[in-house]
Chain A
Amino acid sequence: MTATSPDDEKSVLLDIRGLVIEARSEDTWAPIVKGVDVTLHREEVLGLIGESGAGKSTIGLAALGFARDGCRISGGDISFDGIALRELSEGRMGRLRGARIAYVAQSAAASFNPARRIDDQVCETAVQHGIMSRPEARKRARRLYATLRLPDPDSFGRRFPHQVSGGQLQRAMVAMALVCGPDLIVFDEPTTALDVTTQIEVLAAIKDAIRAERAAALYITHDLAVVGQIADRIKVLLQGEEVEEGETEQILYHPKEDYTRKLVKVRSVSKPGHTDMSDTPAIEARHVTAAYGKGLKVLDDVSVSVAKGATTAIVGESGSGKSTLARAMTGLLPPLSGGCHLNGVELPPQLKHRSKDQLRRLQMIYQMPDVAVNPRQLIDEIIGRPLTFYFGTTGRKRRDRVAELLELVELSPDLAKRPPAALSGGQKQRICIARALAAEPDVVICDEVTSALDQVVADGVLKLLLRLQEEFQTSYVFITHDLATVRAIADDVAVMYLGQVVEHGAKDDILNNPQHDYTKKLLSSVPRMEMGWLDRVLAERAKGREAIS
Chain B
Amino acid sequence: MKLLEQAPLSAKFGMAIIVVYVIAAVFAPILAPYPQRAIVGSQFEAISAAHWLGTDHLGRDMLSRLIYAARNTVGIAVAATALTFLFGCMLGFLAATIGGWGDQLLSRAADTILAIPTLIFALMLLTVFGTALPVLVLVIGFLESPKVFRIARSSAMNVVVMDFVEAARLRGEGVGWIMRRELLPNVMAPLVAEFGLRFCFVFLMISALSFLGLGIQPPLADWGAMVRETAQLISFGVPTPLIPAFAIALLTIAVNFVVDWFLYKQSGLKEERA
Contact = CB atoms under 8 A, between A and B. Distances in A.
B171 A385 contact: yes
A389 B188 CA distance: 25
Interface string A423-453: 0000000000001000100000000000000
A70 B271 contact: yes
Interface residues of B, number: 18
Contacts of B271: 69-70
Interface string A359-384: 10011101110011111110000000
B242 to A, nearest CB: 45
A371 B272 contact: no
Contacts of B167: 364, 366, 372, 435
Interface stretch (B118-126, B179-187, B215-223, B250-258): B179-187
Contact of A366 (B163, B169, B186): B163
Nearest to B272: A70
A330 interface: yes
B222 to A, nearest CB: 39
Contacts of B181: 374, 377
B79 to A, nearest CB: 28
A386 B171 contact: yes
Nearest to A27: B6
Contacts of A386: 171
B111 interface: no
A150 B185 CA distance: 47
B3 interface: no
Contact of A372 (B164, B182, B186): B164
A389 B172 contact: yes
A359 B185 contact: no
Contacts of B164: 371-374
B170 A332 contact: yes
A371 B162 contact: yes
Contacts of A359: 170-172
B163 A368 contact: yes
A24 interface: yes
Nearest to A23: B272
A370 to B, nearest CB: 9
A294 B80 CA distance: 45
Contact of A330 (B163, B170, B173, B185): B170
A356 interface: yes
A371 B186 contact: no
Contacts of B186: 374-376
Contacts of B170: 330-332, 351, 359, 362-364
B171 to A, nearest CB: 6
A374 B182 contact: yes
Interface string B144-173: 000000000000000000111011011111
Nearest to A69: B271
A374 B171 contact: no
B274 interface: yes
A367 to B, nearest CB: 8
A69 B166 CA distance: 33
Given A373-B164, A376-B186, A389 B274 contact: no
Contact of B163 (A354, A372, A376): A372
B171 A24 contact: no
A351 B171 CA distance: 10
Contacts of A371: 162-164
Contacts of A362: 170
Interface of A: 24-25, 69-70, 330-332, 351, 354, 356, 359, 362-364, 366-368, 371-377, 385-386, 389-390, 435, 439
Interface of B: 162-164, 166-167, 169-173, 181-182, 185-186, 188, 271-272, 274
23 contacts: A24-B272, A69-B271, A70-B272, A70-B274, A330-B170, A332-B169, A332-B170, A351-B170, A351-B172, A354-B172, A356-B172, A363-B170, A364-B170, A372-B162, A372-B163, A372-B167, A374-B164, A374-B186, A376-B188, A389-B171, A389-B172, A390-B171, A439-B171
Given A359-B170, A389-B173, 11 more contacts: A70-B271, A70-B274, A332-B166, A351-B172, A362-B170, A374-B164, A374-B181, A376-B185, A385-B171, A389-B171, A390-B171
